[in-house]
Structure 1
Amino acid sequence: MLSISTKKSKTALVVSLFILSIVVFGCNNSQSGGKKRQLISFKAYNGINYSEVSRRMRNGLSFNEYGYQLEPQWKLKFVSDDSISIFSPTKNAFINFPLTRGYDSIFNAARSWLKVRKITKDSITMEILIQKGDSLDVKGTKVFMRFFADNYVKNVLHTDTSILRRPSHQDTLFIKALSAKANADYTKAFAARQPAKITSRSPLVSVSQRTTRPDILNNFDNSDDYLDPTYDIVIKKAYKDFYFSFTMYIDDKGRTYYGYPLVGLDDEEAKADYIHTSKAIMESYLKLYLNIKPGSTLGIIHSSMVSVHVEGKAGSPKSEVRKSKRF
């Protein structure tokens, strides 16, 4: 997912310029004996406010089979051929960034490499490029960003950006098909865009969901919050002190099934014991004391997976739990 950085990194700029020199050198070599291509210019489009209305893969979908969603987020305005203004959701303001141009319609801005496929005063289509170490994959990711000029949206299409950004009918059909498979077999679960919710129904148990703060270190990407929803669960007055980390499948009815341990265990006997005990904790404490709401995507409820870190603190447990399980 592309994101916006409000910090200027000197190191990143040096790396970007180095990569650009590689791109330019490669283009010049490929055109030896022919006419040189000119640097892309945005002069004719300066001052036009563009908003991203879709971000899709080559197959036209904004979702993949794992539930990851490509979200249109950007708003931008070309200021000059070496400057671009991009809206920062974290700052709720437009921020000016240096723009580094390359041949073959490639440019770098806001820590992202992009290739312009088509540009007019009404719309832009760009492809996301990937930086790999000290080189740039100019073949592209086959992920395309589509922008419309704000005036075009308002005065020609007579709509607004929020409507244009909605998932397509094709996305809905894709999610329905994935959901049907996942609900028939929970092991085919995929990430829910609205993750499964776990809450406590007992004063003996506290539940908190981990959240990611978007910042420069994670490239302003908090998609892990729905791709891998993670919960910390603390059980007071447990039968003994313990700490287990594992995944759980949550089906479309809110029922839970054990997934796999989240710790590395090379010894098969130790692994079997870990699974046996943590599964028993899930079947007793978690099923007794938790409310679970299944996840959904585009309003469609389906099986998904969560990660849990369960801590038990010894004390005098409720007789109900003590009698229900002996570990």
Structure 2
Amino acid sequence: MYATTKVALRNIAFSTAFLTTFIACKYRPNTPGHGEKPTVSFKSVEGITFIEVSRRQTNGLSFNEYGYHLTPDWKLRFVSADSAALYSPVKDAFFNFPLALGTDSVFNIAHAFLKLKKMSKDSLVINLLEAQGDSIDINKSRVVMKLYSEDFIKNKLHTDASVLQRATPQDSAFVRKLVAKANTDIKKAFSASQPVQLISKIPNVNVVKRKTKPSLLDNKYSTDDDYLTPTYDITINKAYQDFEYSFEATVDSAGVWHYNKPLVPFMGDADAEKNYIKVSTAIMNTYLKLYLTTKPGETLGMKHASTISVNVKGMVAPRKPD
């Protein structure tokens, strides 16, 4: 369900070979007269720090029907004709990346192909382009990024970037409708920007939410899976027996668990699947509901049903350190 969403709405990674080809050929689609269009240049704005203040779909919303939020998180500075710097909040520093310039206002930074729409010393408006295999469509974009310079935000707008990045009334109204549907029918649950919280009530139960650490330097910049399919590893010490189960569940707006499906293959073994569902449902209804405080997911401060993945391991005796 989320595959198309993730391709369309996140920054897209490309192979080294394709990037090399782009740099060498200055990407020219087979359009009559296209080769006469000049290569985009950022000379006039070099050295200016731009902060992304909005990232929206072409319909003006920053949320889609699955609850995915397009978070404006770029902090960008053009360094030279072939280099741009992006800010890493993890490292709290700017890092330089190759800047590949193409014709028709197309350029590439840090695994994303973009098309410049407007540029001034105060702001940039950029379209995020989509990939289809080993090519891009320079005329198709579902996402528009807007960036303001630090000086413009501070000295002309007299505000802070965090204020500009807030959800709009249109976003709030859209999410409110999603919440109403999800809380009426949990089958319409959607991803929460603030995911479900599972808090252990006793020392014998330990919960760890999986978290991807984004890294521009290691090409691991996307944390979409953490958002769209939050996963929790739960260890139960002093269980009635050793066991391991993985399943998907929906947590409603009141924090109540609803079993969805197992997350392991059964290769057509209906009896094994039936028993797996029976036992893992019982574990959910006993250990997890009794020994965990479950706080429902929220989006824009509104509690709603959302789906999570759970890996539960039970051990009769605590495992000794190696």
TM class by shorter chain equals 0.7 to 0.9
Percent identity, aligned pairs only? 45
Following the alignment from structure 1 to structure 2, what is the Cα–Cα distance between the partners of residues 40 and 115?
9
Q: Where does structure 2 lack aligned partners over 5 or more consecutive residues? A: 1-9, 318-322
Where does residue 135 of structure 2 map in the other structure? 135
Aligned length: 306
Say whether the 8 Å CA contact 1:19–1:135 is kept in structure 2: no
Q: Which amino acid aligns with 2:194?
A: Q
Whether the aligned pair in 1 keeps the contact of 2:54 and 2:146 (CA below 8 Å) is yes
Q: Show the counterpart of 1:259.
A: 260
> Could you tell me which residue of structure 2 aligns to residue 24 of structure 1?
27
> What code does the residue aligned with 1:180 have?
A
Q: Distance in 2 between matches of 1:235 and 1:199?
A: 13
Per the alignment, residue 222 of structure 1 pairs with 223
Moved over 4 A (4+): 20-23
For structure 1, the residue ranges without an aligned partner over 5 or more in a row are 316-327
Secondary structure class of the residue paired with 2:96: strand
Q: Distance in 1 between matches of 2:184 and 2:93?
A: 46
The CA distance in 2 between the partners of 1:297 and 1:223, in whole Å, is 16
Instruction: Report the equivalent of 2:111.
Output: 111
Moved more, 273-282 or 229-238: 229-238
Say whether 1:44 aligns with 2:47. Answer: no
Return the alpha-carbon distance in structure 1 between the equivalents of residues 218 and 281 of structure 2: 35
Cα distance change on mapping 1:124 and 1:290 into 2, 3 Å:
same
Counterpart position of 1:325: none
Pairing 1:162-173 to 2, within 5 Å after superposition: 162-173=162-173
Any conservation in 2 of the 1:240–1:314 contact (CA below 8 Å)? Answer: yes
Identify which of 304, 309, 312 aligns with 1:310: 312
- Match runs of 1:1-327 below 5 Å: 1-2=10-11, 12=16, 14-20=17-23, 24-26=27-29, 30-31=32-33, 36-215=36-215, 219-265=220-266, 266-314=268-316
Shift of 1:90: 2.5
CA distance in 1, matches of 2:139, 2:118: 16
Instruction: Tell me, yes or no, if the aligned pair for 1:23 and 1:136 is still in contact at 8 Å.
Output: no
Secondary structure at 1:70 match in 2: coil
**Larger Rg: 1 or 2?**
1
The TM-score with structure 1 as length reference comes to 0.86
Change (3 A) 1:48 1:208: closer
Distance in 2, Cα, partners of 1:208 & 1:49: 37
SS at match of 1:104: coil
Matches of 2:193 and 2:254 in 1, distance apart? Answer: 17
Structure 1 residues 281 and 169: CA distance shift in structure 2, 3 A: same
With over 3 angstroms needed to count, the CA separation of the structure-2 counterparts of 1:139 and 1:20, relative to structure 1, is: farther
Quick check: 2:235–2:314 contact (8 Å CA) kept in 1? yes
**Contact persistence 2:22–2:102 (CA under 8 A):** no
1:105-157 CA-partner distances (Å, limit 9, x unpaired): 00112222110011122211101113444322323332010011222212221
- How far 1:308 sits from its partner (Å)? 0.9
CA deviation digits over 1:278-313, x for unaligned, max 9?
111111222221111111011111111111111122
Confirm or deny: 8 A CA contact 1:249 1:303 kept in the other structure.
yes
